[in-house]
Structure formats: C-alpha cells, structure tokens
Amino acid sequence: MDKTEWMRRTIEICRQRLADGSGAYCASIVVKNDKIVGEGVNNVVMANDPTGHCEINAIRDAGNRLKSHDLSGCTLYTTWEPCIMCAAAIWWARIDRVYYANLLTDAKRIGMDIAPLVAEVTLPSGQRPRPYERLLGDEAWAVLDAWWKRAKPDGL
C-alpha cells in the first residue's frame, strides 16, 4: 500500500473503534515492511490513563509484537499530529517516519488548547509554573550506574 492508503486505513480504524466504543477520536498504526506491526487508539478516558494516546498505544503494541524497543525501519501513521509526549516516544522508539492527518493546533477547535503544555515543557524545570525539585540525585545515579555497568543495553 502507499502512504495515502495506510492513512486511510488508520482513519478507518478510528471510525471502527469509535463505532464499537473501544476507542476515542484518534488512531495510529506502525508499519514495517508493508505490514501493520502496531495499532493504537486513544483510550485516555476509558483506561483512566493520561498516557493512553494513540501513538503511545501503537508504539507499545509494535514493541510487544516485534519484541524490541527499537522500531527502526518503521513508519507511524496517525490521525493527529503527535503531541510533545508522543513525539518523544517516537524519538525514543527510533521510528523512521511519521505521517499525520489533523494538525495539533486543530485541537483548539474542539476546546483542547495545548499551548500551555508546550509552554511548560519547553522551559527548564526550574522555570516551570508547576514546581519541580531534584531530590537524592546521587543515590538515584548510583542505582542507574550499577544497572548500566551490568546490563549495557543495546541501542541506548
């Protein structure tokens, strides 16, 4: 299939999941070698999970199916331009390319203004309106350092 057909398939998944009540207003798929290897819909409200964005769920599904955190060689199709959280997950997953339909700024048309989120997370932690405070950095680093020396995970 070409990129337009994959996006149509993503939109159709969104329609189907809205109709059967198992998903919300957006869907994503992860494609590798012309095959869907991950699928996700927004389930934030249904699962009481603020991280339940369609891109995150599709990436989780692809990682489970492919048995890898490294999704190099994959393409993500999503009905919404990814938010900052989802863009970070895409980066961490090493997805090669992203196609999206709705603009992130379109969310404001339905009453979801994400401008305050963008403003907050782009500031250094000490300048954010929500208080962030570092605690026990040396102790936490010692655990991370011990793990790193033992595990030396591939691709990190």
* CA separation for the pair 141, 151 (Å, rounded): 15
- Sequence-ordered list of residues with C-beta below 8 angstroms from that of 23, at least 6 positions apart, any chain: 13, 14, 16, 17, 41, 42, 43, 54
What is the distance of C-alpha 32 from the center of its chain? Answer: 17
Catalytic residue IDs = 55
What is the distance of C-alpha 129 from the center of its chain? Answer: 24
